[in-house]
Chain A
Amino acid sequence: MPLSETGTDRAATSAALDVRSLLVWGLLAGLLGGVLAFGFAEAFGEPSVDTAISLEEQGGAAEHSHDDGAAAGHSHGEEGAEEEVVSRSFQSTGGLAIGTVVYGLGLGGLFGLAFAFAYGRLGTASPRGTAVAVLGIGYTAVVLVPFLTYPANPPAVGRGETIGERTGLFFGMVGISLVLALVAVFVGRKLAQRLDGWTAVLVAGLGYLVLVTVAAKLLPDFQEVPDGFPGATLWEFRIASLGTSAVLWAGIGIGFAALLHRGLTRAR
């Protein structure tokens, strides 16, 4: 990364971009995104999670008393305490922080890699422009479209018997969406050689939307919101979920772009 006097700007740009620094910037941006996402999730996500868990426990308490028969009133509390591997208060604070930061670091590393592949291969996009493009394509393909197909569910929503199927289909949808997005990028690059860039991007983007919508419609859907689960809580949770991912991705993308820009201008 450190540059001595090389000739042109062009050389400076290429020499300054080695994969290793991109990955370091990706991880740093991932850390930033993870911390910001934790803050957002704690403030806007936890209230609906808590509401959902208390609803779940009310339902669960009734079931337990049926199962156990004897000492119905106490059994739930005792059992709950025994089974509680991680306390609820730590789950909603430290556990949430660990989860979002570990996830942020992983995603940040992948973001750095994706940028390494994308840079110089998306027309004449500038370094920061490329980072924003990776951010937009990534968030749409990996978060938004899978979310619209299989929305996030709070505790108490979703039947235990279908968890395997739902997990498989969710990851399947992420995979399908990501592959279609990559195909759209390749097609868009090809089209840009014949059409102007604007039209090429529009055609490729529209193609992605049509195909991914067809795929989403063909996959089975699940209506597993229990009767009486408050719609407001579900809405609040889902918006908070979408927001948590948005903050995470924006933190990574913008943080990465800033580190990248600093690294490139410093090297000059």
Chain B
Amino acid sequence: MTTHAVATPVPVPVSIPVRQILPYALFVGIISLIALYFVGAEQGALAVFDGTYVHELVHDARHLLGFPCH
């Protein structure tokens, strides 16, 4: 090996194969979206649970994060 340790200024970015990301994407994607849904919309226009507890609890965050609230 002749080319040895010439500090590469910009390491070439190696992408992660999509196939490797997908299982995580499904799992984490769904859980994350559920978290966003509960803060952004639950017990507003849509509701999974009865009552208004979730809506009331995250009410101010929902307004300030820009979601329609009521």
Q: Which residues of A contact B (CB under 8 A)?
A: 8-10, 12-14, 17-20, 23, 41, 45-46, 49, 84-86, 91-92, 95-96, 98-100, 102-103, 105-107, 109-110, 112-113, 116-117, 119-121, 124-127, 130, 143, 146-147, 150-155, 158, 160, 163-164, 166-168, 170-171, 237, 240-242, 244-245, 248
Contacts and interface: CB of A to CB of B under 8 A. Distances in A.
B57 A98 contact: yes
Interface string B50-70: 011100111111111111111
Nearest 8 interchain pairs by C-beta: A99-B61, A120-B15, A106-B35, A14-B14, A99-B58, A167-B45, A152-B66, A120-B13
Given A14-B14, A103-B40, A112-B28, A170 B57 contact: no
A267 B41 CA distance: 41
B2 interface: no
Contacts of A248: 65
A104 to B, nearest CB: 9
Q: Is the interface of B mostly helix, strand, loop or mixed?
A: helix
Interface of B: 8, 10-16, 18, 20-21, 24-25, 28-29, 31-36, 38-41, 44-46, 51-53, 56-70
Nearest to B16: A116
Given A100-B65, A103-B36, A150-B68, A9 B8 contact: yes
